[in-house]
Amino acid sequence: MANTKKTQPKVGIVMGSDSDFPIMKKAADILEKFGIEYEMTVISAHRMPDIFFDYASSAKEKGFKVIIAGAGGAAHLPGMCAAIFPLPVIGVPIKSAALSGVDSLYSIVQMPSGIPVATVAIDGGANAGILAAKILATSDDKLLKKLEAYKEELKSGVVAKKEKMEKLGKDYPMPSSSK
């Protein structure tokens, strides 16, 4: 849904490298679930600053209300977006090989006063999409209703797991991520 329609995207999703795509796709998937138009691209703030500047400075004109920016390592992309784009920026720290994403997290969350970046967990693409939807829902009642229904879906899923666990007791199967 990288804005195949004729409507203006409300969210820009930008990442510093195509290796960030699996994480940033989670944000796109959430936006699609809620019917939110977006545009997704790869731009390196370090390797192509002129193109980056054009992207961030024209984002408002394109109709973006929020930018979700993912970056690993030095992770300047979200902060630089926030320095130029006047509306909310959500930073997604991407796990790096050297420091497991802690470097990315610190780079994004430690912004100077006056240039905030909302920051989700390391590799938190899905939460970035949800946060963008919540920001947009402050002025969109239909979207707010979708978010409320989503919250109920999450609750129902946990209740079903609780009931299954109570029924099976010690025979409850271990989740595959715990094995």
The beta-strand segments (E) located in 20-176 are 38-42, 66-72, 89-94, 118-119
Residue 27 and residue 115 in one domain: yes
In sequence order, the β-bridge partners of residue 89 are: 67
Residues 74-83 pLDDT 10s: 889 999 999 9
Predicted local distance difference test score (pLDDT) of residue 83: 97
Q: Which domain holds residue 154?
A: 141-171
pTM (predicted TM-score): 0.90
Residue 62 and residue 43 in one domain: yes
Q: What residues contact 22, with CB distance under 8 A and at least 6 apart?
A: none
What CATH number has the domain bearing residue 23? 3.40.50.1970
Q: Is residue 163 part of a domain?
A: yes
* Nearest alpha carbon to residue 3 among 31, 24, 42, 30: 31
